[in-house]
C-alpha cells in the first residue's frame, strides 16, 4: 500500500478503489478526479484539498476531516466540455458520521443516500451525560430517556402513549431505587434529591413562561401552570410533615419500607411521591417539546444542539445546489451553511438535524422540501430564501410577503397561488405555471428568470373576484399567448413598487418622497391607487436592486418619522393629495414634471422623457 506524504500533492485522477486509507493525510492535496469508491477513509484528513469530480461513492468517511475543501470550476479532464464546467463531488451512499465539512465549498455535491450521525466518541460522551442526568431525579430521567429514544429510533413516528408510560415507569423505578439508597444516609438526603427534581421542574416551567412571553403567544398556559404549582405545593407539604403522614405511608409502602429497613415518617413516602410527579411532568414536557409545542420546544432544540456538536457538521459550508436525496441527516449540523437550491427530496431524519436560522427551521417547510404532501400550504411571511421547490405542486399556496429570493421554482405549479408582496429576486421560475396567481406588489429584479412561463392570466389584487374586470391581466375574456407573460413582466423590470398604506405617517411620507427625489438613482415614476392605499412606482438604475430600493425608502421613512417626533401634521389630508404634492415638490427639486391621469395615476417625466411610463390599467 502506497501512502501519501506531505510532498506528494498532485494526486489528480488517482485510484483508491476499495483501499484501506484510514487516518490518511490528504490535506491540501489536488484530488480532482480521484476515485475513492468503497475505500475505508475513517478519520482521514482532506482539509484544504481540491475535490472537484472526486468519487467517494460507498466510502467510509466516518469522522474524516473535510474542512475548507474546495471545488474549482476548471474541468478535471481539462476539456472544454460544457457539462464538465459544473463541479460535482460524489458522496453517494457514504458513511459520513462525525465527518467535518466545516467551511468547505461543496457546490453541487451529491450526498444521495449518505448517512450522517454522531462520532463514536460523542456517542460515548452523550451516554455518560445522559446517565448523569438520570441520577439527578425522575424528572430529567423522563426527559432524557424520551429524547434519546426518539432521536436514536429508526422510525419517524412520534413516541406512542405506551412508550411514554414505559418511560415514566422506568423513571419512577430508578428514582425510587436511588432514594432507597439515599434514605440510609437520612431523610435529608432524600429531601435534597427531591429538591433537585423540584428545582429542575421550576426551571423548565420558567423557561416555558419566558418563551411564551417572548413569542407573544396567545396560548392559555395558566391552567397548566396552576396544576404544576399545586402538585409541587402538595409535594412540599408531604416533605415538611412526613411524621404526620406516617400512618398513610405505612399503609402504602409497608412492604417496601420493610425491605429497605426504614420506619414510616422518615420521608421516604415524599420521595416516592416526588418521583411520580417528576416522571409525569417529565413525560408531558418532553412529548410537548418533540411535538414543537411553543412553550417547550426549546428543550428539544437544546438537546439537538448538544447532539449535533458531535455529529456530521456542514457549519459554514457552501452547499449550493447540493443533493441530499434519501440521505439520513440525523445529527447533522447546517448552522451558517449556504443551503441554496438544495435537493432534499426523501431525505430522512431532517428533524433531528441542527438547521440554523434558515427555511428549514419551519416544520411545514421541512415537510414541503422533503416532498411530503401538505393539507395547508400557508407560507405567508416566511423567509424561504434559496429554497428548492422545483416541480412542486404549490397550487393555491399562500406566499404573501414571503421571501423567495434565489429560490428554484422551475416547473413549479403556482396556479392560483398568492404571491402578493412576495420577493423573488434572483429566483428561477422557468416553465412555472402561474395561471390565476396573484402577483400584486411582488418584487423581482434583473436576475429573476422568467422563461417559458405557462400563464393565461394573473391577478393584481388580493381579492380578484370583487373587481375581476379591472384587476385581471389581461382582462376577462382574454388570455396571454405563449411569450406574452414575459413581455408583460419585462415592462416592469427596473421598477420597484412600494406599498403605501392610508394609516402611514403622511408628514414623514411627504418628506421621504421629497428627499429621495433628489437622488439621481431613485426616480419616482408615479403611483397607482389601490383602494385607500397607494402603490408608488420607482425607476431604479441597473446597479441598484429592487430590494435595496425598497429598503432605502422604508429606512428614510422611519428616519423621517423619528424626525417629526411621530407627529403627523398632514394626518387629515387625503393620502393621494399628500403623494401628489410630494411628487410636485420633488419634481421641482429634481427638475422633473408631473402629469396626472384621471386623478388616479401620476407620471414623472425626466428632462428627455427618458422616464416616461404608460398607464397599464
Q: Is the pLDDT of residue 589 over 90?
A: no
Q: In terms of pTM, does the model score above 0.85?
A: no
pLDDT digits (tens, 9 = 90+) for 97-130: 999 999 998 989 999 999 999 988 999 999 999 9
Q: How confident is the model at residue 230 (pLDDT cuts 50, 70, 90)?
A: low
CA distance 137 to 174: 8
**Which strand ranges, in their side-by-side order, compose the sheet holding 601-605?**
495-500, 533-540, 522-530, 601-605, 593-597
DSSP string, 333-386: B-TT-B-TT-B-TT-B-GGGSB--SSGGGSHHHHHHHTT---S--B-TT-B-TT
Whether the CB-CB separation of 407 and 389 falls below 8 Å is answered with yes
Are 526 and 601 in contact by the 8 Å Cβ rule? The answer is: yes
pLDDT at 515 over 80: yes
Nearest Cα neighbor of 428 from 387, 382, 367 is: 387
Within 8 A by CB and 6+ apart from 158, the residues are: 150, 287, 290, 291
Q: What pLDDT was estimated at residue 85?
A: 44
pLDDT digits 0-9 by tens, 549-579: 777 888 889 998 888 887 888 888 888 888 8
∠ CA 365-367-370, rounded to 5°: 105
Pairing of strands 601-605, 593-597: antiparallel
270 vs 570, higher pLDDT: 570
Which of 118-127, 197-206, 317-326, 369-378 has the least mean pLDDT? 197-206
Does 376-491 carry CATH code 3.40.50.2300? Answer: no
Q: Are strands 533-540 and 601-605 parallel, antiparallel or unpaired?
A: unpaired
Three-state secondary-structure class, residue 575? helix
Neighbouring-strand partners of residue 514? none
Return the minimum-mean-pLDDT range out of 126-140, 492-506, 562-576. 492-506
Instruction: Answer yes or no: is pLDDT of 244 > 70.
Output: no
Q: What are phi and psi of 50, to 5 degrees?
A: -100, 120
- Domains of the chain: which residue ranges? 121-306, 376-491, 495-605
Beta strands in 399-481 (DSSP E): 458-459, 472-473
Mean pLDDT of 216-227: 56
Q: What share of the chain in percent tops pLDDT 90?
A: 36
What's the mean pLDDT when you consider all of the chain?
80
- For residues 150 and 272, which has the higher predicted lDDT (pLDDT)? 150
* SS3 state at 277: helix
Which residues in 292-311 are b (16+ Cβ under 10 Å) and which e?
Answer: ebebbbbbbeebbeebbbbb
608 pLDDT band, cuts 50/70/90, is very low
- Average pLDDT (392-414) is 95
Amino acid at each position: 500500500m502506497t501512502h501519501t506524504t506531505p510532498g506528494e500533492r498532485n494526486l489528480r485522477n488517482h485510484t483508491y478503489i476499495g483501499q484501506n486509507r484510514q487516518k490518511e493525510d490528504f490535506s491540501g492535496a489536488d484530488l480532482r478526479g480521484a476515485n475513492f469508491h468503497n475505500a475505508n477513509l475513517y478519520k482521514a484528513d482532506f482539509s484544504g484539498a481540491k475535490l472537484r469530480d472526486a468519487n467517494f461513492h460507498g466510502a467510509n468517511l466516518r469522522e474524516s476531516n473535510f474542512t475548507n475543501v474546495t471545488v474549482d470550476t476548471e474541468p478535471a479532464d481539462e476539456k472544454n466540455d460544457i457539462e464538465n464546467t459544473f463541479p460535482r463531488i460524489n458522496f453517494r451512499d457514504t458513511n459520513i458520521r462525525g465527518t467535518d465539512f466545516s467551511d468547505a465549498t461543496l457546490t453541487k455535491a451529491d450526498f444521495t443516500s449518505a448517512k450522517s450521525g454522531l462520532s463514536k466518541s460523542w456517542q460515548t460522551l452523550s451516554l455518560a451525560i445522559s446517565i448523569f442526568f438520570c441520577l439527578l431525579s425522575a424528572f430529567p430521567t423522563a426527559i432524557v430517556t424520551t429524547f434519546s429514544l426518539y432521536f436514536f429510533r429508526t422510525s419517524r413516528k412520534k413516541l406512542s402513549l405506551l412508550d411514554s408510560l414505559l418511560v415514566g415507569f422506568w423513571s419512577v423505578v430508578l428514582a425510587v431505587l436511588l432514594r432507597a439508597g439515599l434514605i440510609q444516609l437520612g431523610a435529608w438526603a432524600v429531601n435534597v434529591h427531591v429538591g433537585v427534581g423540584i428545582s429542575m421542574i421550576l426551571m423548565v416551567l420558567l423557561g416555558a413562561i419566558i418563551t411564551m412571553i417572548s413569542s407573544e403567544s396567545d396560548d392559555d398556559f395558566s391552567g397548566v401552570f396552576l396544576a404544576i404549582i399545586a402538585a409541587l405545593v402538595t409535594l412540599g407539604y408531604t416533605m415538611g410533615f412526613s411524621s404526620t403522614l406516617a400512618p398513610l405511608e405505612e399503609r402504602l409502602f409497608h412492604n417496601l419500607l420493610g425491605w429497605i429497613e426504614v420506619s414510616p415518617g422518615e420521608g421516604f413516602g415524599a420521595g416516592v411521591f416526588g418521583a411520580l410527579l417528576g416522571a409525569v411532568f417529565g413525560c408531558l414536557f418532553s412529548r410537548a417539546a418533540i411535538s414543537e409545542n411553543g412553550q417547550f420546544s426549546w428543550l428539544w432544540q437544546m438537546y439537538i444542539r448538544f447532539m449535533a456538536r458531535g455529529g456530521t457538521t456542514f457549519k459554514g459550508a457552501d452547499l449550493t445546489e447540493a443533493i441530499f436525496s434519501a440521505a439520513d441527516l440525523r445529527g447533522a449540523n447546517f448552522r451558517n451553511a449556504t443551503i441554496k437550491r438544495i435537493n432534499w427530496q426523501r431525505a430522512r431524519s431532517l428533524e433531528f438535524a441542527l438547521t440554523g436560522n434558515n427555511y428549514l427551521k419551519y416544520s411545514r417547510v421541512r415537510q414541503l422540501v422533503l416532498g411530503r404532501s401538505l393539507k395547508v400550504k400557508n407560507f405567508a411571511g416566511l423567509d424561504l430564501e434559496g429554497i428548492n421547490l422545483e416541480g412542486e405542486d404549490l397550487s393555491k399556496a399562500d406566499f404573501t410577503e414571503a421571501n423567495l429570493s434565489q429560490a428554484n421554482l422551475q416547473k413549479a405549479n403556482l396556479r392560483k397561488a398568492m404571491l402578493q408582496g412576495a420577493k423573488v429576486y434572483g429566483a428561477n421560475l422557468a416553465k412555472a405555471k402561474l395561471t390565476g396567481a396573484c402577483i400584486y406588489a411582488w418584487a423581482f429584479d434583473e436576475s429573476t428568470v422568467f422563461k417559458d412561463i405557462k400563464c393565461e392570466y394573473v391577478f393584481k389584487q388580493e381579492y380578484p373576484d370583487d373587481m375581476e374586470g379591472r384587476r385581471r391581466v389581461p382582462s376577462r375574456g382574454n388570455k396571454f399567448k405563449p411569450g406574452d407573460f414575459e413581455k408583460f413582466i419585462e415592462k416592469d423590470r427596473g421598477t420597484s413598487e412600494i406599498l403605501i398604506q392610508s394609516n402611514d405617517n403622511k408628514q414623514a411620507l411627504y418628506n421621504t418622497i421629497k428627499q429621495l427625489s433628489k437622488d439621481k438613482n431613485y426616480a419616482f415614476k408615479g403611483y397607482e391607487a389601490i383602494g385607500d392605499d397607494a402603490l408608488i412606482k420607482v425607476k431604479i438604475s441597473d446597479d441598484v436592486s429592487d430590494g435595496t430600493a425598497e429598503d432605502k425608502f422604508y429606512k428614510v421613512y422611519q428616519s423621517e418619522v423619528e424626525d417629526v417626533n411621530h407627529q403627523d401634521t398632514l394626518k387629515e389630508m387625503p393620502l393621494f393629495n399628500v403623494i401628489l404634492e410630494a411628487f410636485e415638490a420633488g419634481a421641482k427639486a429634481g427638475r422633473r414634471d408631473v402629469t396626472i391621469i384621471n386623478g388616479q395615476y401620476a407620471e414623472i417625466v425626466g428632462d428627455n422623457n427618458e422616464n416616461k411610463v404608460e398607464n397599464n390599467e
